[in-house]
Amino acid sequence: MEEYDVSTKIKFPAVRIFFLLMILLSAMTTIYAKPFDSKTDGSGVFVGEVGCYGEHEIQPQFLVQFRDKLQENLQIKQKDKTIHLVGGTDWITETGDVAERELLTHIHMDAIVYAPLFQKDLANAKTIHYAENVFGEDYFWNETKLEARRAMAKKPYRISPAMTDAAKDIGLKHKADYLLFCNVVEVDAELANSIFNSKPSSEEERAKHIKVDSNYYLIDVKTGFVYEGHIFLEKTARLQELFGTYGKAMNVETLLQAVFDKQAKKIVKDVFDNGKKALEKHE
């Protein structure tokens, strides 16, 4: 009769269970890994704030959706190893160091009001007050100065010395080479069943016309130089592909997310194809 090796029959399942546990642990580590962990290739990028400083306040859920799409596309960008995200997700969850969040807001507003494309008449009251404190109220009535400012579009510019120091300190704290900010100036939708521009009141509402207007800023923490970009998307020939992909009957929520994703892709591409290179010339 063939001998029955009890030890072998017991050990083999134990080994299998051990390896299964190791695989499960590895999978759980991957699932719960933070999006900014273990990335050291390329330049460190800290996302400071995604907010709205436009004349009309944007509903919070729209900003959250835009932030999510920007984060997704930044994580995709990490794969080419030219950048890596640093810091945490405080800019998404609005948690963490309150003083630092307030400082990031001031840096963002500094980048906005010093920018060549800044338009006072399209800003909210807080930003207008900030700009007038920096430049004086008369500055924005001087067309010669405003024209000279606009001529600097797409060229790096400096923020204030105080905010340059603040950006440098945040960069040192988070091991960041660059701070990235986005100002979603306006989100507007005209519903298919209405002749008036209005905010979507129901996820089932269909959009007839939609536009998203955003400015974005990449700050070199070493120099305080800023690259400013602007992107405007609406229902034009450029947007028809979205209707072709998602269908003309898609609701406002779905269409907005599609536009946000398209804007986020363009922002990430411009910032790191053009903006980063422009800032490197000033180092």
Report yes or no on whether pTM surpasses 0.85: no
Long-range contact list for 124-131, CB < 8 A, 24+ apart?
124/52, 124/53, 124/54, 124/55, 124/57, 126/53, 127/53
The number of beta carbons lying within 10 Å of the beta carbon of residue 102 is 9
In this predicted model, what pLDDT tens digit does every residue of 261-276 receive, in sequence order? 999 999 999 999 999 9
pLDDT of residue 177: 97
Taking only the tens place, the pLDDT of each residue in 223-236 is 999 999 999 877 54
Rg of the chain over Cα atoms, rounded to whole angstroms, equals 24
Confidence of residue 250 (pLDDT cuts 50, 70, 90): low
End-to-end CA distance of the chain: 82
Summarised one tens digit per residue, pLDDT across range 46-76 is 999 999 999 988 888 888 889 889 999 999 9
As a whole-number percent, the residues of the chain with pLDDT over 90 amount to 53
What gap in Å lies between CA 212 and CA 65, rounded to an integer?
A: 13
Query: Do the beta carbons of residue 256 and residue 65 sit within 8 Å?
Result: yes
Give per-residue pLDDT as tens, 159-178: 999 999 999 999 999 999 99
- Tell me the C-alpha distance between 85 and 43, whole Å: 8
At 133 the pLDDT is 96
The mean pLDDT of 242-250, rounded to a whole number, is 51
Report the alpha-carbon distance of residue 105 to residue 158 in Å, rounded.
17
pLDDT of residue 191: 62
Residue type, 64: V
The model's pLDDT over 68-111, given as tens digits with 9 standing for 90+, comes to 899 999 999 999 999 999 986 665 566 678 889 899 999 999 99
Long-range CB contact pairs, 29-32, < 8 A, 24+ = none
Is residue 32's pLDDT more than 50?
Answer: no
Number of DSSP helices (H) and strands (E) in the chain, helices first: 10, 7
